[in-house]
Amino acid sequence: MSQNKVIIIGGGISGLSSARYLAKAGWQVTVLEKGDFKDGCSYGNAGFVCPSHYVQLATPGIARQGLKWMLNHTSPFYIQPRLDSALIRWGIQFLKRAKQKYVNHNGVPLRDIGLLSQREYEEVWQKELNFDYQHKGMLEVFQSTAARKECTHIAKMGQDLGLDIEMLDKEGLEHLEPDTKWNAIGAVYYKCDGHLNPRKLMEGLQDQLSTLGVQLIPRQTVTGIKKEGNLISEVHTDNQIYKADAVVLAAGSWSEPLARQLSLNLPVVGGRGYSFMVPVSNGHRIHRPGLLVEGRAAFTPLADQLRFGGTMEIRKLDAPLALNRVKGIIQAVGQFFPDYQLDFNQIQHQIWSGFRPVSVDGMPYIGKSPKIDNLVIATGHAQLGISLGAATGLLVSELVRGVQTSINISTFGINRFNN
C-alpha cells in the first residue's frame, strides 16, 4: 500500500514537531524551509515550557501600557506605525480581543494545551532526545508593591486552575536562589514549569527526523499554493512543484500572505525579540529561569551560561535591528541582578533576534480550514511556540489523520476572528 504524503511549509518547532508525529504515524513527510534549518525564532528563544502562561497576550493592561511604551526607544514593546492594511487589521482585532472576558475564557484551554505539551516533552520526547529539559519551575521576580499585587492576582488565577504556584517574599527568593544577589521584593514561583535548550531541541529533532526518513529540504521558499475545488493540489517553490495528500502551513510570521493566497484570513504579525548569552559571572549562578516583571526581560540558565532576552517589536520582517531595545534589556538585568552589570559593547557581536508569530490574541492557530479539506494550520503561537511545540505537533498530526484530537481545540480555531 502506498504511503500518504504530507508537505509541511516551515521548519521551525511547529513544522518539525508536526513532522515528527506524522512520520511516526507512517506518513511520508517533506518539510520545505526557506532558510537552512540552522536559525530562526525557534533557536535563540528563552526555552520556557510554561503551563503557567494561561493569560493570553492581548490583555487590557498591555493595550493601555503599550501606547506609553511606544514613545520610549528602549521599551520592551513597540509597534512601528505604518500604512499596511494587514497590520491595521491585526491592530484593530488585537484591541477587540484585549478584554478581560477573553482572558478569563482562554485560561483553561491555554492551561490544557500547556500541560499536554509538557507531558509529551517529559514522558515521550525526553526518552528519545537530549535537549537539557529540567522541571525546576520558573520565577516571576518583581521590585514594586504594585507589581506584587498584580502578580499575586495572576498567581491566584493559576492556583484556581490547579497549577502548583507559590508566592515568595525576598527571603524565600534568596533561599531558593542563594548564589546570586537579587534586587527584588519577591517572586511568584511557578513550580509547574520547566525549561529546555531550544537549539539542542531543534538540532536533536532534525537528527531524529532524518532517521525517520523525513525529507528536510532547505532553501525552498514556498511562493504559491494551488487549489482545485476544496483541495490543495500543488505547492510551488521558486524551482519545484510538490504534490501531496495533505499540507501543513507552519510558516511562522510569514504565514499570513500564504494563507491569503487561499482566501483565508489569518492575521499574524512578526513580534521581534532579542537575546544574548553571557557566562555565569564569578560563580553567581542562577538555577531557574524567570521573568523580570518590571523590566519585561527573561533569563534562562543554559549549562554554564545565562541567556537574557526580551522585547516585542512589531516591525517589518526585514527591518534592521533596533539595538536600543537590547540596551533596554541590559538595563533591566542590571537593575535586578547587582552581579550582572553588562556592557553592551561586549555582547553586541552575538545578539540574536527572532520573529515570534503573533496572532491577534497571542494564542495559536491550530486547526483545519472549513474551506480546504487537506490543509491544517499551525502558527500564531507568539511567546509560546516552544512551550506548546510538542502539543502542536501532536494535534496537527491528529487533524491531518482525521482522528479525535487529544484535547478540545475549538479556542485555537483559525476562524475565530471572522465574526
Ligand X SMILES: Cc1cc2nc3c(=O)[nH]c(=O)nc-3n(C[C@H](O)[C@H](O)[C@H](O)COP(=O)(O)OP(=O)(O)OC[C@H]3O[C@@H](n4cnc5c(N)ncnc54)[C@H](O)[C@@H]3O)c2cc1C
Q: Does the protein bind ligand X through residue 267 (CB under 6 A)?
A: no
CB 337 within 8 A of CB 183: yes
Q: Does the protein bind ligand X through residue 250 (CB under 6 A)?
A: yes
Least distance in angstroms from the C-beta of 250 to ligand X: 6
Q: Tell me the backbone φ, ψ of residue 305, rounded to 5 degrees.
A: -130, 165
274: which 3 cell numbers?
532579542
Nearest CA among 209, 225, 196 for reference residue 37: 209
Helix ranges, 178-232 (H): 198-211
Q: Does the protein bind ligand X through residue 10 (CB under 6 A)?
A: yes
Number of residues that bind ligand X (CB under 6 A): 39
Rank residues 19 and 251 by Cβ distance to ligand X and give the closer one. Answer: 251
Q: Does the protein bind ligand X through residue 66 (CB under 6 A)?
A: no
Least distance in angstroms from the C-beta of 11 to ligand X: 5
Determine the Cα–Cα distance for residues 145 and 27; give it in Å rounded to an integer. 54
Among 137, 267, 273, 328, binds ligand X (CB under 6 A): 273
Among 126, 221, 331, 406, binds ligand X (CB under 6 A): 221
Burial of 2 (0-12, 13-18, 19+ CB in 10 A): exposed
Q: Does the protein bind ligand X through residue 34 (CB under 6 A)?
A: yes
Site string for ligand X, 305-334 (x = CB under 6 A): ----x-------------------------
Per CB under 6 A, the segment of 38-46, 167-175, 182-190, 402-410 that binds ligand X is 38-46
Determine the Cα–Cα distance for residues 326 and 329; give it in Å rounded to an integer. 5
Element (H, E) at 9: strand 5-9
- Helix and strand numbers (H, E) in the chain are 12, 20
19: which 3 cell numbers?
513532522
- Name the DSSP class of 177: S
Least distance in angstroms from the C-beta of 393 to ligand X: 10
Rank residues 295 and 354 by Cβ distance to ligand X and give the closer one. Answer: 354
Least distance in angstroms from the C-beta of 145 to ligand X: 27
Mutual orientation of helices 100-120 and 389-401 as an angle, nearest 10°? 90
Per CB under 6 A, the segment of 35-43, 84-92, 207-215, 406-414 that binds ligand X is 35-43
Q: Which residues are near ligand X by CB under 6 A? A: 9-15, 32-35, 40-42, 45-48, 221-222, 250-254, 258, 273, 275, 309, 354, 356-357, 379, 381, 383-387
